[in-house]
Amino acid sequence: MRLEKCWFCSSTIYPGHGMMYVRNDAKIFRFCRSKCHKNFKMKRNPRKVKWTKIYRKLHGKELPQDTTFELERKRNRPERYDRNVVEDTVKAMKKISETRVEREAQFWKNRMRGKKTQQRREDLAELQQGIHLVKAPTALLEEPSLTLPKEKMKVKVSVEQESKAMES
């Protein structure tokens, strides 16, 4: 029993799943599900299809190269069964997948760093441009307390309105 990789999306194909297509030049394509198979039949290039692993790695969305990946090589020579070897292999597999997950998480963190502040800044700009959608411009003029915050991150329009009502 062997766990193959889908040709299109690179996910593992477990036994009992998927389709194998043999081209006349004897090249074998394995697909994990009919979605990938159908995309292949449409002659789509997986490097351009956004949800495939290949695309993500190519466009820097996911960890492209790592030593943990190389440990998952395809080995064709069958090993003589040795209980200790099997035990060690299973332990190693666990450790490897743990480290891989950690590294991928770190990569994601690095990729997303600074995005939150940038998002906040963008939101603020949008607010300043589009405050008329939230509150009419004439209302803003009438009640000068309803000013937009300059550097503050939170927009306290409703709170100031409440305080105004309480004062009067």
Residues found near another protein in the complex (CB under 8 A): 1, 13, 15-24, 26
Report the distance separating Cα 107 and Cα 125, nearest Å.
29
Closest to another protein by CB, 27 vs 150, is 27
Closest to another protein by CB, 16 vs 137, is 16
In angstroms, what is the minimal distance from the CB of 92 to another protein?
A: 26
SS3 content of the chain, % helix, strand, coil (to 5): 50, 5, 40
Closest to another protein by CB, 21 vs 51, is 21
Closest to another protein by CB, 74 vs 109, is 74
Report the distance separating Cα 106 and Cα 162, nearest Å.
44
In angstroms, what is the minimal distance from the CB of 101 to another protein?
A: 28
| Phi-psi category of residue 78: left, alpha or beta, with phi > 0 → left and psi -120 to 50 → alpha | beta
Closest to another protein by CB, 12 vs 147, is 12
In angstroms, what is the minimal distance from the CB of 85 to another protein?
A: 25
**DSSP state string for 18-66:** -EEEE-TTS-EEEESSHHHHHHHHTT--GGG-TTSHHHHHHTTSS----
Helix (H, G, I), strand (E, B) or coil at 92: helix
In angstroms, what is the minimal distance from the CB of 39 to another protein?
A: 16
In angstroms, what is the minimal distance from the CB of 13 to another protein?
A: 8
